[in-house]
Amino acid sequence: MAEWVKVCSAGEAPGPGKVQQFAAAGVDVCLANVDGELAAMDNWCPHRQGPLGEGWIEGNAVVCPWHAWAFDCRTGECPEENSHVKVFALKQQGGDVLIDLH
Ligand code: FES
């Protein structure tokens, strides 16, 4: 069963090429904008808990600001390190950005 929660309003979402950290229902989320398309993933890097929402975008990936592991925005995979973060389903509705916590 989906559990859609608001991350931010569409106007607060990061612009193309940017990432930002938000809290959604107590969950820290990294919101990324890749070429105008938003993606949401767990904010905390599985390496040493770096804040992905303070990182940057390279290609389709968010790069951790601490040691530069790169996580694909669609899959959450980090191929070089055989690691991954959770990626949340995302939709925009009524001017808000929503993610499914499940
Ligand atoms: S904490 Fe993210 S790469 Fe080390």
Instruction: Spell out the domain ranges in the chain.
Output: 4-100
Could you identify the residue written with the tokens 């931010």? 8
Q: Which atom of ligand 1 is nearest to the CA of 64?
A: 2
> Among 17, 11, 23, which Cα is nearest to 39's?
17
Q: What is the three-class DSSP state of 12? A: helix
CA-based max dimension of the chain: 38
Class of domain 4-100: mainly beta
Taking the CA atoms of residue 47, residue 51, residue 52 and residue 58 in that order, the dihedral angle to the nearest 10 degrees is -90
Q: Which residue has a Cα nearest atom 3 of ligand 1?
A: 67
Task: Determine if ligand 1 sits within 6 Å of the CB of residue 64.
Answer: yes
- The CA-atom distances, in angstroms, between 75 and each of 10, 20, 47, 78, 84 are 23, 18, 17, 9, 8
39 pLDDT band (50/70/90 cuts)?
very high
Q: What value does the mean pLDDT take over residues 3-20? A: 97
Rounded to the nearest angstrom, the distance between the alpha carbon of 55 and the centre of ligand 1 is 10
Helices (H) and strands (E) in the chain, counts: 0, 11
Enter the DSSP assignment of 44: B
Please report which confidence band the pLDDT of residue 14 belongs to, taking 50, 70 and 90 as the band edges. very high
3 state SS of 53: helix
Ligand 1 neighbour 84 (Cβ under 6 A):
no
